[in-house]
Amino acid sequence: MRIAYLDCFSGISGDMFLGALVDTGVSPQLLEDAVGALNIGARLEIRRVVRGGIAASKVDVYSNGERDLPREVFWNNRGHDHAHDHAHGDLHQHAHEDHRPAHGHGRGLDEIRRIIQQAALSPTAEQTAIRIFEVLGAAEAEVHQTSIDEVHFHEVGAADAMVDIVGAAVGSESLAIEQWVCSPVNVGGGAVQCAHGTLPVPAPATLKLLANVPVYSAGPQVELATPTGAAIAKTLCHRFTSFPAMRVEKAGYGAGTRDFSEHPNLLRLTIGDATTPDAVADGAPRTLAASNESITVLEANLDDLTPQVLAYAMERLLAAGALDVFSVPAQMKKSRPGALLSVLAKVEDADRLAQLMFAETTTLGVRRRQEQRQTLSRRWETVATKWGPVRIKIASMNGSISNYAPEYEDCRALAESQQVPLRAVIEEAVQGYLRGSRKQ
């Protein structure tokens, strides 16, 4: 199984994550094209720097021709404004400063979703980007005791966050990682100034995002983990632990702006194949046959919801990070036809998804239980068809391929754009994969 490990010994921010992606081989042009597709007047500047004697990739965001110091500003319709400044881009002692935006220039989540949806990203990248933004917005909403729809992002902060988050979604997808793992997170220390006065590090939204995540404070007393960085890690990563057993393929470093004397201001990304500890010891690495994880199953019986609303609710749950969503017909009391809605969720996402079930359906109760899920090792390959490229998902057990299937959304997009039958695209993709596998 192909895994990636984020080593957050100097925290994590959106720009550091983009730098780490580039340093491990993600095409800068891929990120630049994705940013350009947002059509928000932003661009990237990517360069090589040295932090603590280690070479790394540095990504800066320019908005309307000017470099943005990474800043996230949120406020809601009740007038509570809250400013976040990334320590990695801030040149002052504190990571936050009181920056009160003029009202009326913010972007709500609905507008941000529309911008991302209109950017012609792949379906997977689009869903990942929206999911990260929703995780970020939900944390801010909880901090300010408001709804996620009332949270607004300041114009500059929204542009910077969109670039970081969309770049993270597109870049991480291109690496074809099957499981993201993260180290305990160094959050930094000290205090920050914001619109509500002096607050300790980590900032409230960051602390909310890192609930149930192992954290610590070391090194310079500034903010090291930012809300955007925490949202990216919380959304992508399956678990937070020490360095996993793996056969290392490559490693890269994403740099922050400041150059600390205490330690290199870097985020390290290591990519490789998961291996069993005993296999590493005897010198013959073996890929894990499958991985086991705990998940939460959420269920609700629905007998007064129209099919259109149920379909919308299922789409929203998937976009919000559910591992899977499905419904089955059910015969309810008084012989009424209904549906059983089931949601598979990461344990840490269960409360948020349960709230979404209450908001988008008519249910008065959501049941939950813990289950163990075993998944096969999976990887992606891209094959060429006469109409364009299609990704193939390949599942393996004990090193042997057990299943493969073309990505439906890729095939559907080609079928619609080229005006050919969907079945023909799927068959062509399968044949292309089989031809390639026979040559290996």
Q: With 50 as the cut, is the pLDDT of residue 26 above it?
A: yes
Question: What local confidence, expressed as pLDDT, does residue 255 receive?
Answer: 97
Question: What local confidence, expressed as pLDDT, does residue 440 receive?
Answer: 55
Question: What local confidence, expressed as pLDDT, does residue 151 receive?
Answer: 75
Distance (Å, whole) CA 321 – CA 127: 8
Question: What local confidence, expressed as pLDDT, does residue 437 receive?
Answer: 64
Residue of 229, 228, 232, 234 lying closest to 214 (CA atoms): 234
Q: What percent of the chain shows pLDDT beyond 70? A: 83
Question: What local confidence, expressed as pLDDT, does residue 319 receive?
Answer: 85
* Single pTM value for the model: 0.65
Q: With 60 as the cut, is the pLDDT of residue 88 above it?
A: no
H or E stretch covering 247: strand 246-255
Q: What is the mean pLDDT of the chain?
A: 84
Question: What local confidence, expressed as pLDDT, does residue 67 receive?
Answer: 62
Distance (Å, whole) CA 24 – CA 253: 8
Question: What local confidence, expressed as pLDDT, does residue 154 receive?
Answer: 56
At position 112, the amino acid (one-letter code) is: I
Question: What local confidence, expressed as pLDDT, does residue 99 receive?
Answer: 30
- Non-local (6+) Cβ contacts of 257 within 8 A are 58, 69, 70, 88, 89, 90, 91, 265
Q: Which residue has the higher pLDDT, 91 or 136?
A: 136
Question: What local confidence, expressed as pLDDT, does residue 11 receive?
Answer: 96
Question: What local confidence, expressed as pLDDT, does residue 335 receive?
Answer: 85
Q: Which residue has the higher pLDDT, 91 or 277?
A: 277
Model pLDDT for residues 361-387, shown as the tens digit of each residue:
999 999 999 998 888 877 788 888 999
Question: What local confidence, expressed as pLDDT, does residue 195 receive?
Answer: 63
Q: What share of the chain is helix, strand, coil (3-state, %, to 5)?
A: 35, 35, 30
Domain architecture of the chain: domains with CATH: 2-281 (no CATH), 291-365 (3.30.70.1380), 378-439 (3.10.20.300)
Distance (Å, whole) CA 140 – CA 100: 16
Q: What are phi and psi of 65, to 5 degrees?
A: 85, -10
Q: What are phi and psi of 355, to 5 degrees?
A: -60, -40
Model pLDDT for residues 154-197, shown as the tens digit of each residue:
544 578 889 999 999 999 999 989 889 999 999 999 987 766 67
Question: What local confidence, expressed as pLDDT, does residue 145 receive?
Answer: 82
Q: Which residue has the higher pLDDT, 74 or 138?
A: 138
pLDDT interval class at 100 (50, 70, 90)? very low
Comparing 3-17, 94-108, 273-287, the range with the smallest average pLDDT is 94-108
Q: Which residue has the higher pLDDT, 73 or 120?
A: 120
Q: With 80 as the cut, is the pLDDT of residue 92 above it?
A: no
Sign of the alpha-carbon dihedral angle for 124, 148, 296, 242: positive
Structure token pair of residue 263: 């330690």
Q: With 80 as the cut, is the pLDDT of residue 69 above it?
A: no
Q: With 50 as the cut, is the pLDDT of residue 153 above it?
A: yes
Range from 25-29, 80-84, 202-206, 289-293 that averages highest in pLDDT: 25-29
- CB-based contact 295:305 (threshold 8 Å): no
H or E stretch covering 426: helix 422-439
Model pLDDT for residues 30-46, shown as the tens digit of each residue:
999 999 999 999 999 99
Question: What local confidence, expressed as pLDDT, does residue 178 receive?
Answer: 86
